[in-house]
Amino acid sequence: MSEFDYIIVGGGSAGCVLANRLTENPNVSVCLLETGPPDKTPLIHVPAMFAFLPETEYSYRYETVPQKGFNEVTVTEGAANAVDSLGGSHPIPQSYQEKRKGFQPRGRTLGGSSSVNGMVYIRGHKWDYDHWAALGNDGWSYEDILPYFVKSEHNEALDDQYHGQDGPLNVAQLRHDNPFTRYFVEAGSKHYKANDDFNGADQEGVGTYQVTQKNGKRHSAAVAYLNPAKKRKNLTILTDTVVNKINFKNLTAVSVECTTKNKPNELHAKKEILLCGGAYGSPTILQRSGIGNESFLQSHNIECLLDLKGVGENLQDHIDYITSHRVDSWELFAKPFKSLKFTMRAPFELIKFVLASKGMWTSNLAEGGAFIKSDENLEVPDLQLHFTVGMVEDHGRTEMWGNGFSCHVCLLRPKSVGTVKIASKNPDDDPLIDPNYLSNDEDMKVMIKGYRKMMEIMNTEPLAQFDNVRNPINIDDDKAIESAIRARSDTIYHPVGTCKMGNDGMAVVDSNLKVRGVKNLRVVDASIMPTLIGGNTNAPAIMIAEKAADLIKQDAT
């Protein structure tokens, strides 16, 4: 079968939600397309093993273009042959200086980034959604979207007007009590109020994160939404499927051109095509399909069907700085065989996980958190902390001996805005990602304040006793802090905004998530966010898809 009512392009968080909700009607046929393989590896489902996923086939390993706001690094590339005075030839490494690139891993499997992320369940602040509505996006205020958060959620611990108990997505407390996370909350609570629900009446404060887990295992969007729908005869799931472009007839989306396991395929949609490729996938598919900035498309020899200048613009992301502390403790994680204590303990903890779904392997690593203000005069928190029970540097790619802990500080509402663009017509070529980090001077000023506030907690007992910082910085020296941020800061994996919702000339979709200027095409994922929300973005992506499912059903009646 090559014809369906709905074709969902992207099997990530939003795509899984739509596949479930749309196939609730047995008379509707749906095809879900995912570039990556099925989500079968234990690395996905054993929570703490997610740290090993960025370097596997289950993740895209994107890099940004060199970031002007970062420091310069030496890049070695290939070798040239030099001839000595005797005529001998010797290879000499070629090296040059360029601005540092950022790393951008994204989920590449069923469940998308919900299958490879840190499982932190955060919705953002009420202010964020009221701001969307104030920008002219009717139906997206906090009052409008809260019912969809509640609808999606089954919260094991919290039961009030802010939380649901009947939704597909299981939200739970951590099942492993790590003393260092308790130390973080205790130290932080000496400076900020304690908060046991970051998604309730008030986001501000210090506490432990709730996680998208069930019975100690990851509860991704694929597990929560897609698995229950797989048995439905009206759902077809195609993995290992690379989407080239969308085909149009008279500016109406009619089919998807793709390859499934390297075999060319064209799938036809009777009703709608739903783009759920995320902040990088959705805009680049549109660009390859001839929708985007006309001059840019022409530069890549792509016929422009619709000059929609906002496609790929408005990229926003949370920039993040990490401090790591070396601590010799049984309670903390380390890389395999890089710590004798962790190497000895890990097998026993794995047995505990297999037999009782408890212990260290149920950890999401980023266990503690805080939402705080860089200035008390601000209306809402503009900084978020993630306390991690393991040392982390360069996304875990730096080899480090021993145990330790880390703390992240990220800028929740950056003023720097970037772009994502195709590098070529070839869908296998990585996109050109330019978050434009730190291009707005205000972002650096707030990050410096954020570093100081984070270290204020790190230097408070009971954490202060563990003061073996891997990259010590003079906390009274703005220039030293700025230099460190330019040298080591990077994403905390929350890119949004590249197909933004709105009414202005740069808007890509309207408040019903329909792509402006064409028919039968919507974008349903975090790329529609007009502004970056104050928190982790997976729960909001699920909310967006829950709301979109209702909008699609309403149009079908």
Active-site residues, by number, are 494
341/330 Cα distance (integer angstroms): 6
Contact 243, 35 (CB under 8 A): yes
Q: Quick one: which of 435, 443, 431 has its CA closest to 417?
A: 435
Cis peptide, bond prior to residue 462, ω within 30 of zero: yes
125/366 Cα distance (integer angstroms): 20
212/120 Cα distance (integer angstroms): 7
Q: Quick one: which of 220, 337, 286, 278 has its CA closest to 526?
A: 278
Name the strand (E) or helix (H) holding 32.
strand 30-33
Q: Quick one: which of 282, 303, 343, 294 has its CA closest to 497?
A: 282
* Beta carbons within 10 angstroms of residue 259's beta carbon: 15
* Beta carbons within 10 angstroms of residue 199's beta carbon: 21
Q: At 343, is the secondary structure helix, strand, or coil?
A: helix
The residues, any chain, with a CB within 8 Å of residue 102's CB and separated by 6 or more, are 63, 64, 67, 70, 433, 435, 437, 490, 491
323/471 Cα distance (integer angstroms): 7
